[in-house]
Structure 1
Amino acid sequence: MAPPEGTKLILCHIYFFVGTHGRVDRDGPFRLCVQFSEFTAKLDDGCSVDVPWKSDEWVVDCRSYNLEMLKNDLKARVNWGSSQQPVVHGFDMSGGERKLLNDTDLFRAFSERMGDSKLFLFVDVEDKPTEVVTEVAASNVGHDNVIGPIDSNKEAFVSHAIDWDSMEIIPLGQDQIGAALPVMDEDAMYEFVGLRAEDERAEQSRMAATINLDDMDLQDTDMLVHDRVPGEDSALYDREDPPMEAGTIYASMNEFRAAVKQHAINGKFQLGTEKSCKDLFRGYCKAEGCPWSIVARLMPDKIQVRVTLNKEQHFCPSTARLKTKMASYHWVAEKAIPILMKHPTMGAKKLQEELEDKYDITIGYGTVHMGFVIAGEKIHGTWEESFGYLFNFKAEIELRMPGSIVEIDVVNKEEGVFFHRFFCCLKPSIDGFLNGCRPFLSIDSTALNGRWSGHLPSATALDGHNWMFPVAFGFFDGESTDNWTWFMQQLQKAIGNPPHLAISSDACKGLENAVKNVYPWAEHRECFVHLMKNFSKRFQGPAFGRMYPAARTFQPEYHEYLMNKMYAVNKNVEPWLKANHKLKWMRSKFSKAIKCDHITNNVAEVWNNWVKDIKDLPIAELADTLRSKFMELYARRRRIGEKFEGHVMLPIVVRQLYAMSRQLGHLKIKEGGRDEAEVTEVTDSHKIIRHVVNIQNHTCTCREWQVSGKPCAHALLLITTHRNPKMEDYLDPYYSVYHFRLAYGGVIKPLPDKSQWVRVNPGFKVLPPLTKRDPGRQKKLRTPSCLENKGNKPRGKGMWQVQCKQCLGHGHRSTSPKCPLNGTKKRKSRAKKGKAGRPLGCSKGDASPSSSKRQKVQVQENSGNNSPGLVEVPEGTSQISTSPGAVTRSQMQITLAGFGGTNQISTSPRTVTKSQAGEGASNAITTPRRRLGLKKKLTPKKAKKIDV
């Protein structure tokens, strides 16, 4: 079997203690005792065979025996593949182990044991070291955990046991040691054990077994028998959009009248009878100038009606708009039904994209939404009728799965009987939770997205892999104390009163009160995430970061130490926590019998994400869809459990402990006995902590082993000091394969569609709930809080985009030049204006500078002056810019009358200082001398013609 992609084989050497027996003559035969450790042989034909522990012995001549001969003798007794090699170990004189690499090492081993005439060796079979994984090996990942040679004719597949030791476990960080996170999720394990490959082969076999009509022999088609009546006419048509073409047959005159009215709007059509023939009917449009009319005649049976004449299609101005809209709605619904049947969780927006891409058209979202609603009603039925089907669903569940708890609560009013709330807990879920899961329940609710603004409460648990295990669900109108109490009472009917039970919830006060009323003896935990959201709004600062280690530590003493540090910073912390968060949110106070150390309510969040795409279904359809998801989930994990044959504990959990045991360098041990020791830990803050471990009682003074059910890092250090330790012996039974199979051992029965359910007459008509949703478009996603990343994310280009009203594109407005519908526009003049709004250089009475007054400005270069260029300004100019900024070349037309008759100005773009502006003797503003050492030279530019 090829190893999974990205992994390498991790082989655990199994060593054996041997002794010496007796002495023999040096010249006599030398007895070789060899013991093979357990390994998986990967044969060249692609098969993998588990080889058990084995021992053998034979006589050799030590004077001529070499390592190559030893390997040949081993190969004759144990078989392995060409990609593997034996590794031989022997004992040295100090009692340790020594690897035999060449003939010299073997000869030395013989020499040391010459007095006993017996040599003990033990052999491990490992994979040959390879640096590059071939594509062929990588392609076998997760497919055929071991597939034998495939016969092209029979396509026979041979499966073998899963080699769990061939998996590579990602080492955990120091901060993750002891965490309850699984190493492999459900999808990855489903592929690793080969179930996905089995599904693909089953699908290929099913497709191959499909009858090909092109290959069928149709020579004897005249032998086929048809149940057909000669002359029988078909009267099937779409009642929502009945055909009006000539030759269409209607079952009766009333159906024809209804079909004509289907095309009518506000009585615009009139149905009359011709005087000449009582069997002739005519419909026409009352709109002025509309030529449309239709004629129909009774059939000979005097019941059916046939359309005999339809002059043209009806598109008069009075009816065309609404008729086209209704036809568009039904066209979208017709095309959407097969798509929604294939993808039940598709939304209206995704459906719009699907239809536009498939038919190369543009459809408005409003049209698609209306067609989406119509298609949903045709598939699932109307929203009002779905509440009555819950009674049929209850009867069907109780008939097929006796022992299930399904309860429906209604409210009697003067207007009728209204639906109130619903609860469902299937029998396999009850047995799976009580027999195979830890006594831990996560309870929460999520808002529905359909026409009813109700809630979907749920109770979920954890299996041995820390996978979400759904237990029960229901429906009610809001998270009130009354609704939660009713839900918890029904849950109590299902699971009873277990001796040990922990219930985790968020900051919902209604649920908190309900748990106190129904399960007052249970350990009620609170989600630490919700607690910190409330805590951070009132207390901020680095000192309050101790809340996180205070919640995660298992030691009550360390928890109290951290909390006292925060109490000393702010005296309001302690009374606020005692008043608002009295539940258990710290590991140091968790019960040892639960074997679950989760401080968050993330199990409920996994459930919410699992059902988010179906929350807009009608109530009866939603309940049946959830049952179907339960059935599929249980069957999928039941198949995974069947792959754990030969294992006592879950292999992934065991491999996680082996991975953790390789990161214990920060711990030191002092053994007091075989099962007890002192383990010293040096933290990052150079603090020394010492713990006492007892592996026989499964205890450690850090309390992590007792609370989680898995050995902590301190216990692993003592466990690994023993030779050939078995991690399975130190895990709690909740992590066993036996409990995992019990959790998913029950089978949830399949159900037919609701039209075939047991019909129940409750004696009244169930009306929709009294509470209706708010007007407007229903929200599909919840609004994130201010403390979440999406809540305080600044508005950016990628998050918010404007839409053009002309081209309907995004990223620009209708007046932007980016719009393709906007032509090239003439740019406005950028001529600078003076104080009175006139261009610079104009006199007070002129609107624009006269052409006769325009003069050329000559630039005189004075080599003896520091200024590289001076501009001579004519007399009579009176305007100058008052801006304190730099004097640029584009401002050479500025006059210097305000400087006392100044007639020269530097053309260098440098700032005019006050000292330069006040110089009356020189009457010039010059550029300061450049500092020595600068490489760049100031070169005067060419003069420009400027109007003055």
Structure 2
Amino acid sequence: MDSHFFYVYYDGETYYHELHGLSYQGSNQKQKCVKVKRGIGLMNLQRRILNAMGLDHSRHNISIVYRAPQRVVDTQVFYNSLQLSGATEVKMMWEVVEQMVARGFIGSDLYVTVEPIVVEAGEGSQHAVLDGTVDEHIDSIPLQYYQGWAENTGDGDDFEELLDTMGEHEDVDHIEDVVVEENRDTCPGPDPTPEWFTKNTWDNMFDPSPVMQAEVASWTPGEQPMKGMVFATKLAVRHALTWYAVRENFSYKTEHSDSERLMVSCEDDSCPWSIRAICCKGDNVWKIAKCKGPHTCDKIQNAHDGRMIDSAFLAYVLERYIREDPAYKIKNLRHVALADLKHEVSHYKVWDAKQKAVAAIYGDFKESYAELPCFLAGLKDACPGTKYKLLVDDHYERGTCTFKAIFWAFRPCIVGFKHCRPVISIDATHLYGKYKGKLMIAMAIDANNKIYPLAFAVVESESTETWGWFLACIRRYVTGRSKLCVISDRHPGIQAVFRDTNRDFLQTPMTEHRYCLRHVCSNVNSRWNNETLKNLVWRAASATQERKFNATFGLIENVNRDAHKYLEDVPKEKWALAFDEGFRYGAMTTNVSECFNGVLKGARSLPITAMVKYTWFKLNTYFDDRRNKSIAQLKSGKRWCNYAFDIFMRNKAKAEHHRVTRLSAQQQSYQVDTPHNPGTAGHGDHTYGVNLLQRTCTCQKWKLYKIPCSHVIAVCIQFRHDAEQYIDECYSMNALFRSYAPVFPALKDRLSWPDPKETRKVIPNPRLIREKGRPVSTRIRNEMDEGGKRPRTTPWKEGGRKVQCGLCDQEGHNRRTCPKRNEASVKMVDVELRGSAHRIKKCACDLLSIGGNLVDDDDSWDLMGNYLRLKSTFLYCDFNRMISSAPRDQKKPLTELANKLFCSIETLINLYIFALVVYTPTSLDVFTLAVNGFY
């Protein structure tokens, strides 16, 4: 009999999806895969599922819902629910499975709800079966957050632990359950039921023993762990201990930890608090066997520095935030940790926790490279027409290869691009993950002048080789359109690629290369740092007529001859609109690529396979949104997109004031004169020639933007032509809808993915591992950004200093782990206290130097504000930080020393306010004495 795969989902809830019917969701949902023989009964199926989930069938019961296909429309399947409550429903399920297997399905979904079996002693029972239950939510922290714990030796076993850890006897044979189907035709029936079988004999029964409760309790976050509490794993025990320590603000240490027991105690040796948990092998659970206490030690004073929180626990707390947005900044996560845990956690600890959470959610960075070929093969199988190209280098280890580059473009983008303008913008941006690299992006522009994602690539760096390969993949896999315009910055690698005459596909007339105007202006400003010069370059490049360009270009020569010569060496058609011949369609910058870089900001910190998945789902959402909007606009009767129609209407308003003279009716040639307009730069009063047959106007706007200019519209108005017919079809609502009409299909289950072409294991290049240091997570803004000024930014930082101790100035550890912490802390705290005191004294002396003008001089109030800010900073920052870093036995004297300093501060404040309000020589003398005697 053939086998069948069941994908078991649990720890979530069912819901009905609009397109797919019955579905499953939940932030903590889990999945298991179970392989069974077709036709298996309900009881055996339940046992197989419980075994896969690691649960004891004598302690747990499960209810199963089969996700039954109801109808198939094209590639969409609508599912309904089938509750497996007996043999009839199971038989129906297998009949449906047989039909779906014939259609190509190899697996089915089961949604499982776990119910613990609880048998309590009561008045109506002869025997009390005492059994414990373990709540499912106790499973807490996933295993991947913890890499291991220190193994130490500890005390011997107690008799109670010995009983709990003993499993079943090794000499006893275990007999598997056998399900025998009943045959009513061949088996003789039983005798009639005797009357005493059903006679009431229980009314007077009672249990002479006292009612007993099972010594098993569930744990809730923040609750104090107590004897008898049961946990699913040792990690769950640690999770509970950390939650309790966080709430009570104390630290504990591990005395012993192995596969059978865990012993922890208070960090203060004089405190009797300790907990011992053991593994009950027979039940496969962990139970707290001993709990001594309570705490007799002092709490960690006012410090809430999160010293009891490790990165693994913090990763569990922050997981839901990182799952929502992997681009969550570390400083924001620190605020989240402070709000949730009431502890201020260090930057590095949050960073480390984020890396663990990302690995737990999206997979390990290194293993993600190995998964990439399989995912790409499954992606192409689910969406035929999707293109990808994986480049690898041979590796010395047999059966492996080193990742070099990956290119991918989805079929909906490729098909829809045929209805967009033949203009693409290319750009590259940094990756933020464990491995360095560059993400290359090719973006198009849709009919409404919005971004249209086209293709992506991940390479090691920007170079002539990588840019040439990326553009070759676009030409081969994405578009073969002639007269394609490529807009980019002036990166040396890009320029070298387009200068290479051996690359025929990048030469005229197949491809036209244009520069981004923003980068041209930025280059000029970086060389000569002249705001006027930069604005003149922008004005010259944006001019649509050669006459206007020459006039502005002459002004550039007057301002700076070197800049004028620099621009003369750059071919004008690459940066000036007046010489473009209409290839740009009016697009002057690579803003569309840079905008989408911001959209992918979070994805750039993910493992590589997760990043490809992110682009798939992000583009699916984007296409679905644009498709729905375009359909609504088409139904409303719109013919043209808002972008083109708004330009058309503005030109139509100006056309009302033009004068039109027909030169030839046969050739449809006209002369258009504009009125005098002192409000414009050229003051109006110009003459233009329009030819409707050749679709030209001497202002060139029609040719450059493919939208009728005001002169063409004036001719159409006077001679009753439909001016809208001259708008290019690329701006129509029909083109917009067709560009987003292709649909992203649903991905298949990973068990259905075909074998990839690259059978070797792909590994990352070890040379690309990011060095220590914090890289910039935001594009470096320059003078071309809004605001006009270059803000202060941190350069890209790939390297950084090693961790250096703040106590002994040695590298390799910090002040919390410093071996000289105890002997240096008192000296360090005293020095810093005196430093803060001297800073306050200096500010007070500045106040004193104001003299008799305390009340009327505004500067005195500013100094007073600075003084109060220093005092506030000292109170809430220096004090908590320095006192918390001192040894426990020295906290009290240091606190007393700080309190004396606070009294001095308060005295200075009161005296200063008195001197301000009631200025007398006596008050000033008192204030002077207080300052001189301060500390």
Q: TM-score, normalised by structure 2?
A: 0.54
* Letter of the structure 2 residue corresponding to residue 379 of structure 1: I
1:622 maps onto 2:611 in alignment: yes
Where does residue 768 of structure 2 map in the other structure?
771
Contact 1:677 1:694 in 2 (8 A): yes
Question: 2:622 matched to which residue of 1?
Answer: 633
Matches within 5 A, 1:267-666: 269-270=255-256, 301=282, 306-312=287-293, 325=307, 327=309, 329-357=311-339, 362-414=344-396, 417-433=401-417, 435-517=418-500, 518=503, 519-521=506-508, 522-538=511-527, 546-556=536-546, 558-560=548-550, 562-563=552-553, 566=556, 572-573=562-563, 575-579=565-569, 584-592=574-582, 594=583, 596-643=585-632, 644-645=634-635, 646-650=637-641, 653-664=644-655
**Does the alignment pair 1:747 with 2:746?**
no
Further displaced range: 739-748 or 819-828: 819-828
Distance of aligned partners of 1:715 and 1:816 in 2 relative to their CA distance in 1, 3 Å threshold? same
**Counting helix residues as a fraction of each chain, which structure ranks higher?**
2
Cα distance in 2 for partners of 1:232, 1:759 equals 47
753 and 818 in structure 1: CA distance in 2 versus 1, 3 angstrom threshold: farther
Q: CA–CA distance in 1 between the matches of 2:236 and 2:642?
A: 68
Are residues 790 and 615 of structure 1, via their aligned partners in 2, closer, same or farther at CA, if it must alter by over 3 Å? farther
Give the Å deviation of 1:432: 1.0
Given the superposition, is the C-alpha separation of residues 558 and 656 from structure 1 closer, same or farther in structure 2, using an over 3 Å criterion? closer
The CA deviation at 1:585 is: 0.9
Report the alpha carbon displacement of residue 613 of structure 1 after superposing the two structures with TM.
Answer: 3.9
2-structure distance, mates of 1:286, 1:548:
69
Aligned residue in 2 for 1:70: none
The equivalent residue for 2:669 is 676
How far did residue 697 of structure 1 move?
3.4
Inter-partner Cα distance in structure 1 for 2:625 and 2:242: 53
Aligned to 1:726: 722
Q: Measure, in 1, the Cα distance between the counterparts of 2:697 and 2:262.
A: 94
**Where do 1:901-912 residues align within 5 Å?**
none
How far apart are residue 599 of structure 1 and its match? 2.1
What secondary structure, in the 3-state scheme, does the structure 1 residue paired with 2:549 have?
A: helix
Quick one: structure 1 residues 310 and 576, their matched pair in 2 at CA, closer, same or farther if it must change by over 3 Å?
A: same
Q: Which amino acid aligns with 2:289?
A: T
Residue 689 of structure 1: CA displacement? Answer: 2.8
Would the alpha carbon gap of residues 248 and 412 (structure 1) be closer, same or farther in structure 2, given more than 3 Å must change?
A: farther
Quote the offset at 1:290 in angstroms. Answer: 7.7
Distance 1:445 1:568 in 2: 36
Superposed CA deviations along residues 335-385 of structure 1, whole A, max 9, x for unmatched, are 322333345543333333345446666555454444333332322222222
Counterparts of residues 664-813 of structure 1 (less than 5 Å) = 664=655, 667-673=658-664, 675-681=668-674, 682=676, 684-686=681-683, 688-723=685-720, 726-751=722-747, 762-767=759-764, 770-785=767-782, 792=789, 812=866
Q: Secondary structure at the match of 1:710?
A: coil
Q: 1:418 is matched by which residue type in structure 2?
A: T
Q: 2:700 & 2:297 partners in 1: Cα distance?
A: 83
**Per-residue displacement from partner, 1:803-858 (whole Å, max 9, x unpaired)?**
x98999x995787466694424156999xxxxxxxxxxxxxxxxxxxxxxxxxxxx
Structure 1 residue 566 displacement after superposition? 4.6
CA–CA separation in structure 1 for the residues paired with 2:753 and 2:764: 20
Q: Is the 8 A contact 2:573 2:580 kept in 1?
A: no
Pair 1:429–1:299, CA change in 2 (3 A): closer
- Letter of the structure 2 residue corresponding to residue 386 of structure 1: S
Q: Structure 2 unaligned runs (5+)?
A: 1-111, 119-130, 150-218, 220-224, 246-250, 793-834, 841-863, 876-904, 916-935
Distance of aligned partners of 1:226 and 1:509 in 2 relative to their CA distance in 1, 3 Å threshold: closer
Matches within 5 A, 1:24-39: none
Q: How many residues align?
A: 590
CA distance in 2, matches of 1:815, 1:259: 40
Does the CA-based 8 Å contact 2:542-2:576 persist in structure 1? Answer: yes
Shift of the 410–649 alpha-carbon distance from structure 1 to 2, 3 Å rule, reads same
Q: Output the CA distance in 1 between the equivalents of 2:235 and 2:338.
A: 38
Structure 1 residue 573 displacement after superposition: 4.7
How do 1:123-162 and structure 2 match up within 5 A? none
* Cα separation, partners in 2 of 1:520 and 1:309, compared to 1, 3 Å: same
Change (3 A) 1:671 1:305: closer
Q: How far did 1:437 drift?
A: 0.6
**Aligned partner letter, 2:322:** L
Local SS of the residue matching 2:604: coil
Secondary structure of the 1:615 match is helix
The 3-state SS of whatever aligns with 1:672 is strand
Letter in 1 for 2:703: Q
Query: Could you tell me whether the CA contact under 8 Å between 2:439 and 2:456 is conserved in 1?
Result: yes
Return the alpha-carbon distance in structure 2 between the equivalents of residues 283 and 569 of structure 1.
Answer: 79
Contact 1:691 1:714 in 2 (8 A): yes
Aligned to 1:327, the other structure's residue is in SS state coil
Q: Which moved more, 1:357-366 or 1:676-685?
A: 357-366
Aligned residue in 2 for 1:221: none
Letter in 2 for 1:699: T
Structure 1 letter corresponding to 2:521: M
TM-fit CA distance, 1:516: 4.2
| Counterpart amino acid of residue 744 in structure 1 | Y
User: Shift of residue 653 of structure 1?
Assistant: 2.8
CA contact (8 A) 1:420 1:769 kept: no
Between the aligned residues of both structures, percent identity stands at 22
Letter aligned with residue 404 of structure 1 = T
Work out whether residues 626 and 740 of structure 2, in 8 Å CA contact, stay in contact via their aligned partners in 1. Answer: yes
Residues 656 and 714, structure 2, Cα contact 8 Å, conserved in 1: no
In 1, Cα distance between the equivalents of 2:241 and 2:598?
48
| Counterpart-to-counterpart distance in 2, 1:271 and 1:538 | 64
Closer/same/farther in 2, CA of residues 651 and 688 from structure 1, 3 Å limit? closer
Q: 1:527, CA displacement in angstroms?
A: 1.0
Question: For residue 426 of structure 1, what is the amino acid of its counterpart?
Answer: F
Q: Deviations over 1:238-294 (max 9, x none)?
A: 45689985445688999999999999x999735799xxxxxx979587997786766
CA distance in 1, matches of 2:527, 2:696: 39
User: What are the superposed Cα offsets for residues 177-196 of structure 1, whole Å, 9 maximum, x if unpaired?
Assistant: xxxxxxxxxxxxxxxxxxxx
Rounded to whole Å, the distance in 2 between the matches of 1:767 and 1:747 is: 33
Per-residue deviation, 1:789: 6.6
- Once residues 714 and 363 of structure 1 are traced to their aligned partners in structure 2, the CA distance between those partners, rounded to angstroms, is 66
User: Larger Rg: 1 or 2?
Assistant: 1
The one-letter code matched in structure 2 to 1:823 is E
Specify the SS of the correspondent of 2:360. Answer: helix
- Partners of 1:520 and 1:627 lie apart in 2 by 32
Cα-Cα RMSD: 5.0
Structure 1, unaligned runs of 5 or more: 1-223, 274-279, 796-803, 831-948
Aligned to 1:140: none
Q: Deviations over 1:506-561 (max 9, x none)?
A: 12111222344441231100011211222234565968865334322333455356
